[in-house]
Structure 1
Amino acid sequence: MDFGLKGRHAVVTGGTRGIGRAITRALLEQGASVTACHRQENAEAAALRAEFASRGASARLVRADVTREADARLLLDSARDAFGAVDVLVNNAGIISHLPLAEMAEQEWARVVDTNLGGTYRLIRASLDRLARPASIVNITSAVAKHGMPNASHYVASKAGIIGLTRALCKELGPEGIRVNAITCGIVDDTGQPNPNGEEGKRRYAAMTALGRLGEPAEIADAVLFLACDASRYVTGAVLDVDGGI
């Protein structure tokens, strides 16, 4: 399916693994130029950089930490210098840890919230004078923002905050032609990453969905393509559930 993104320029945070990697690949396959970021040098970053080179992709991988304002600006400056104004910004970078509230130190609360919600704020703010007009911002959040999850209150709060940020900024930025939408992801079976719950955990989660299976990273990427393209040109402030009916 052609989403009409050829010649567009997208920035994807957390683009080297899992959902972010699938989004990066999907945008490239649609003919977009992509600037992806990663927080640290690792095997995933090296493999993606090699993949860009082997396919002669119009792509750049930049090391940037979304918890730092200077890094957010560095990423957007690097993207603009390489491929011009940014047509699509995908805020995907995020972290999680599992702790009951009674054992959650303030430092750990701050680490998760500042990465997930704070990082989204920083990237959008840094992008304002680097975005094309019109432009599309897609914020990746989680189904637990609506449904809740025990032993991860910091993660749930940060992902719920992204929904609030999306709905506020769609109104603030809409007059400039900037659309802001969010995708709530269900449980994705990323075969490239270890699953702490094992096969039994996968089966249990799959049974919680209406479709009886876990999602795939490419299915989240397809939703990003829709929100990035002109087919969704009258869609803003939306929270699109891509969760298999969990």
Structure 2
Amino acid sequence: MSTLSGKVALVTGASKGIGRAVAERLAADGARVGVHYHRSEAEAKEVVGAIEAAGGQAFPLQAELGVAGDAAALWSEFTRHADGVDILVNNAGAGLLAPIGAIKEDDFDRLLAVNVKSPLFVIQEGLDKLRDGGRIINVSSATTRIAMPNVLAYSMTKGAVNTLTLTLAEALAPRGITVNAIAPGIIATDFNPWLAHPQMRAAAESWSAFGRTGTPADVAGLAGFLASDAASWVSGQVIDVSGASSLGNGPTPKS
């Protein structure tokens, strides 16, 4: 029997990149997966199609996150397809490439709304739908431990996600719900378009002890473990999945 057979999952921002890989991994492990998207309807349906072609179960759902009423809208759409959830993956997020002197207040407010406020209230709104013994997996970032001045604001929001993870793990433990965060490093997705430049990619590869950038599948493997019964004794953790980037004498990335 598949490890997640009979489970229902919701992955936000699942139409591409890490979110897509996580959705496909959870589906491959037996879960029925809600593939959330904002604008990328065609890509979300492609993910659903790929999951179904591989023998899994999935459904798309649309909601804009980071705006008033986003959590209620997301769960309203979700309940059209399922009456409860076992695994919630808060993956949707916004980025900002800017040093301290170039951060604009409106851009920072948008980061906070999408990366911090939205996960908090998506969880709050979903607590009555999340079954006892469930899993919450938040996507953080290795930039909370590696100083990267050009993504300062983004890193700050992910630090808040880490605190959310730690505190909720304590709060939800009586229900048997685990709460963990995964902290990717440089992953080859559309989120990091600068990897298309050979020099920048070579630099990113040099930061990892394994000499390469990560793939969405590298992150999805950890998410699959945390969603499984094998991880029932793991909670309140921020787990690095950066390919051992910037450890020991490795260089500290500057962008």
Q: What TM-score results when the alignment is normalised by the length of structure 1?
A: 0.92
SS of residue paired to 1:45: helix
Report how far residue 4 of structure 1 moved. Answer: 1.1
What SS class does the counterpart of residue 234 from structure 1 fall into? coil
- 1:218 and 2:217 matched: yes
Is 1:195 the counterpart of 2:193 in the alignment? yes
CA distance in 2, matches of 1:150, 1:231: 37
Q: Contact 2:141 / 2:184 at 8 angstroms: preserved in 1?
A: yes
In the TM superposition, what is the alpha-carbon distance from 1:152 to its structure 2 partner? 2.0
Tell me which amino acid in the other structure corresponds to 2:208: T
Percent of counterpart pairs with the same letter? 33
Measured on the aligned residues, the alpha-carbon RMSD in Å equals 2.0
Within 2, Cα distance between the matches of 1:87 and 1:67?
A: 23
Q: What is the match of residue 110 of structure 2?
A: 111
Matched positions, count: 244
Instruction: Kindly provide the CA deviation profile for residues 109-166 of structure 1, in whole angstroms up to 9, marking residues without a partner as x.
Output: 1111211111211211111111001111000111001112112221010011100110
Gaps of 5+ in 2: 246-255
- 1:184 is aligned to 183
Residue 228 of structure 2 corresponds to which residue in structure 1? 229
1:166-185 paired onto structure 2 within 5 Å: 166-185=165-184
Corresponding letter in the other structure for 1:243: S
**Uncovered stretches (5+) of structure 1, i.e. residues with no partner:** none
Structure 1 segment 31-180 matched on structure 2, within 5 A = 31-41=30-40, 43-51=42-50, 57-68=56-67, 70-180=69-179
Partners of 1:56 and 1:209 in 2: CA distance: 35
Partner-residue secondary structure (3-state), 2:194 = coil
Q: Name the SS for the 2:243 alignment partner.
A: coil
How far residue 235 of structure 1 moved from its aligned partner, in angstroms, is: 0.6
